[in-house]
Amino acid sequence: MNNTWVYLSIICALCLATSDGILKKYLKKENELLFGWFRFLYSLPLLYTAYYISMSAGFEKEGILEVLLKKEILIVMVIALPLEITATILYTKAIRLSPLSLSVPFLSLTPMFLMLFSVIFLHESISVTGILGIMLIVLGSYCLNIGDLKKGICAPFRSIFKEKGAIFMLITALIYSITASLVKHGVNNASVLSFSAIYYTIVTIALAPIVFFVELVDSNCIQIKKVLRQSILPSIFFALMLITFFIALGMTNVAYVVSIKRLSLLISVVYGYMFFNEHGIVNRFAGASLMFLGFILIVNG
């Protein structure tokens, strides 16, 4: 059995956590949208380079414009675009506002939301494995703030809602539960790299006016140049994450790829301790580990 997708997914997880960690180091209230936007903008040359190399090797059969004009792709873009922009803004704010070890683990809620949507709207039943996965995610989120247990048995849950970054990441996870299905549909109707290049090009273009009116208007040239320089490294890791993710996605079941990609949750907790002196590392790593296990159970159940 070819395990290339496993290695690509592990690289994907490492690159995502590293990109987020570097991003957190530089984020400030007045530049968070700029960083989020430049991370997309800088990743585009690498995405297109990967696409054209793949095309030259004969792996890509369709051109960018040909893919873009497909009805299925246009529908995906129209629906996903406002959701992706909202998620990008909330994701960046979450990383800035809260410790990595308290915000990033909530991305594990994405498959739980997908499962609940299926129950509510499609009247599907939840498997025993799915129920166990949800219980582990809830228990893990409780453990993240278990140090507050002395304030009351419900205090760890209340602490989640006092952390703005955690709330923003929770909403982001909800949005990603929708966009994940849309992206998979897009990949199924196009070549892997061509869709990723198109998708993030359109997101970057659509996000530009928001960035301009919210931040660029009040920024000076020195600030912009500083952000331009500081954005390079996290953008490279972000682009590598996208490339490895989409290639792996085209090689196996989406559930397997996403499961390994979410190792980034645990890596982010470790980064938070190593580089940002975040406290309560034992409780938070234990909580993130339980949430990760719950995520795997739901995705692969």
- 228 pLDDT band, cuts 50/70/90, is confident
Rounded distance between C-alpha atoms, residue 51 and residue 85, angstroms: 23
pLDDT higher than 60, residue 266: yes
Please count the other Cβ atoms lying within 10 Å of the Cβ belonging to residue 44. 16
Rounded distance between C-alpha atoms, residue 108 and residue 81, angstroms: 22
pLDDT at 272: 93
- 289 pLDDT band, cuts 50/70/90, is very high
Residue 91 or 28, more confident: 91
Average pLDDT over every residue of 233-241: 90
pLDDT at 121: 67
pLDDT at 219: 60
- 30 pLDDT band, cuts 50/70/90, is low
pLDDT at 100: 92
What are the tens digits of pLDDT across the range 124-179? 677 888 889 888 888 888 888 888 878 888 888 888 888 899 999 999 999 988 88
Highest mean pLDDT of the ranges 138-152, 174-188, 229-243, 252-266: 229-243
**Segment among 5-14, 28-37, 133-142 with least mean pLDDT:** 28-37
Rounded distance between C-alpha atoms, residue 68 and residue 279, angstroms: 47
What are the tens digits of pLDDT across the range 198-214? 899 999 999 988 887 77
Return left, alpha or beta for 220; rule: phi > 0 is left, psi -120 to 50 is alpha, else beta. beta
pLDDT higher than 70, residue 237: yes
Render the chain in DSSP notation, one character per residue. ---HHHHHHHHHHHHHHHHHHHHHHH--TTTHHHHHHHHHHHHHHHHHHHHHHHHHTT---S-HHHHHT-HHHHHHHHHHHHHHHHHHHHHHHHHHHS-HHHHGGGGGGHHHHHHHHHHHHS-PPPPHHHHHHHHHHHHHHHHHTGGGGGG-TTHHHHHHTT-HHHHHHHHHHHHHHHHHHHHHHHHHTS-HHHHHHHHHHHHHHHHHHHHHHHTGGG--HHHHHHHHHHTHHHHHHHHHHHHHHHHHHTTS-HHHHHHHHTTHHHHHHHHHHHHH--S-HHHHHHHHHHHHHHHHHHHH-
pLDDT higher than 90, residue 267: yes
Q: What is the mean pLDDT of the chain?
A: 85
What are the tens digits of pLDDT across the range 62-109? 778 888 888 888 898 999 999 999 999 999 999 999 999 989 999 888
pLDDT at 301: 63
Taking alpha carbons only, the member of 58, 4, 53 closest to residue 197 is: 53
pLDDT higher than 60, residue 1: no
